Chains A and B, each alone.
Chain A
Amino acid sequence: MHLAYPAVLAVLLFCTGLYGVLARRNAILVLMSVELMLNAVNLNLVAFDVWLRDTLHAGQALTLFTIAIAAAEIGIGLSIVLMVYRNRGTSDVDRLRDTAESPGPAGPDDAAPDGAADATHPDATAAAQKAEATA
C-alpha cells in the first residue's frame, strides 16, 4: 500500500479535530475533537510501525499506550467539565472568562473596584451570579 494514503488520512483527521477544537463552544464537543486528533496520531503510529517493520513494534505499543492515556484523559476531562457545569451552570467555553485579562486600559494588576471589573464582563457577572446561586 502506498504510504501516503494513511499519512494523508491522518493529516485530514488531525485538521478536522483542530477545526473542532477551535470552533466548538461546548466543552464536551471540544473533548470529542481532541479524541479525533489523538486518533489521527494513532493512525500515523500504526502506519509507520507497519512500514518500518520495527522489531520492537514501538508504534503499536505507543498506540496502545495512547489509547489508554486517552481513556484516562477523557475521564478526568469529563469530571472537570461536570464540575464546571455544576458550579457555573454552563459548559460553554466562551463564557468561562474569569481568568481573562480585561480588554480595556485597566490592566489586571490595577486594583479596580469589583463593580467596574464586573461591568466590563457581563458574561462573567452572569456566571458569578449563577455560581453564587448554585453554591
Chain B
Amino acid sequence: MSTSASDTQTWNAATLPSNDNVNAYSFSVDLNGQWFTQKGKMIAYYGQVRFEALSAGPLDALVAASFHSPLYAQDWIVAQGQGKLLLADRGFDVNSYDLDDGNLTIRAGNLLAFEPGLELKQSIIPGFLTLIGTGRFVAASNGPVHFVEPPIRVDPQALLGWADCPSPCHHYDHSYMRGAIGAARMVFGVGGASGEEHQFAFTGEGTVLMQSSEVVMNDDVLLRDLEGQIGTVGTSGLQRLHQTIAQRLAAERQS
C-alpha cells in the first residue's frame, strides 16, 4: 500500500519550541515559574507541573497582583513548576503576542494564557478582558488574525480585540430602530433582521484585531456580567428587574 498524506513530525521535551508555536494550532510554553492559563486548554506537558485554581491559598499574592477579575476567576488556573506545557483550543489558530508596557483588550473566551508580568482586568465592554504591562500572552482565533487600523466598524462576533485605541462604541443602523418592527425588536430583542445592523465602531489611534469567522465560544459571559452588575442596583431597581423578567417569562410561555 502506498499512501500520500502529510507526515507527522515527532517532538520531545528538548525539541519542543520554547514559548513558540508547535504548529498553527498549538503553543508550547517553556514553564519556569508560573503562568495563568484558562481551564481545559492544556493538552499535554513534560516535567513537573501543578495546576491550581485561583482560589488556592498560596496563590493569594499572585492573584492580588495580576488578576483583577472575580467574574472570570473560575475560568482560570495557574500552572506552576518546570517543564514544557502544550496549549490548544478547539483546533483554532493559536498565536502569541508580546506586550511591552502596553495594553490590549481581547475576547475573554479567546485568551488562553498569559505571563504574570501582565495584569488582567475586565474591560468596560462585556465579555472582554484587558491585559496591561509587559509580557507574553497566547490567544486563539478561528482562522488567521487580521490587524486593521481605525476608523473601522467591526462585526461583534468577528472582533477578537484591540490594542492602544480607546474602547469602541456601539453602532446601529438607523433603519434597524425605525417603524413598528424596529420597536418590537427593541422590546423583545428578536426579529427578522439581516444580522448586520449592529457593529462596534472604533476611532482613534491603535490596532484592531479581527478573526476571519464569526464563530465565538458559546459561553455565559453576558449572563455572568449581568449577575455581576445586580449588586449595583437598589431595591426599587431589583423590583423593576423582577417585573421585567416575569413579563418576559410569561411571554415565552405563551409563544
Is B truly associated with A? no
